[in-house]
């Protein structure tokens, strides 16, 4: 790719918007997942009795099992949310930028 084309892309307002939107959205999802994950781990580390409480009297299954499964499901859900937005908004903006650079 020629340097002129690279400079044109880097200075395009749509490209700058794409980079900012994609980056802020990715960081938001990352921070959300980190808070959930480390909240789970820190709960295990500092007060394991919360997650060790049986779901019902006489039950072998503890609160930690569904909470752990929820952490995994939330990770998949956040990935799906990112993919959905990337496939709609981010891909459309990328296509618009590529067409502008090509001169269409």
CA torsion 44-45-50-55 (nearest 10°) is 30
Phi, psi of 29 (to 5 degrees): -65, -40
Cα–chain center distance at 83: 9
> Angle at which helices 13-46 and 91-102 pack, to 10 degrees?
150
Phi, psi of 54 (to 5 degrees): -65, 150
Q: pLDDT per residue over 48-81, tens digit each?
A: 999 999 998 988 999 999 999 999 999 999 999 9
Domain count, the chain: 1
Quote the pTM value: 0.82
> Angle at which helices 64-85 and 13-46 pack, to 10 degrees?
180
């Amino acid at each position: 790719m020629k340097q002129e084309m690279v400079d044109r892309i880097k200075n395009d307002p749509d490209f700058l918007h794409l980079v900012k939107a994609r980056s802020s959205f990715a960081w938001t999802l990352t921070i959300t997942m980190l808070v959930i994950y480390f909240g789970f781990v820190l709960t295990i580390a500092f007060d394991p009795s919360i997650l060790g409480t049986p779901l019902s009297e006489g039950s072998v299954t503890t609160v930690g099992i569904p909470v752990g499964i929820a952490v995994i499901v939330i990770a998949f859900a956040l990935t799906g949310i990112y993919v959905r937005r990337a496939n709609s908004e981010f891909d459309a903006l990328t296509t618009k930028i590529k067409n502008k650079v090509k001169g269409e």
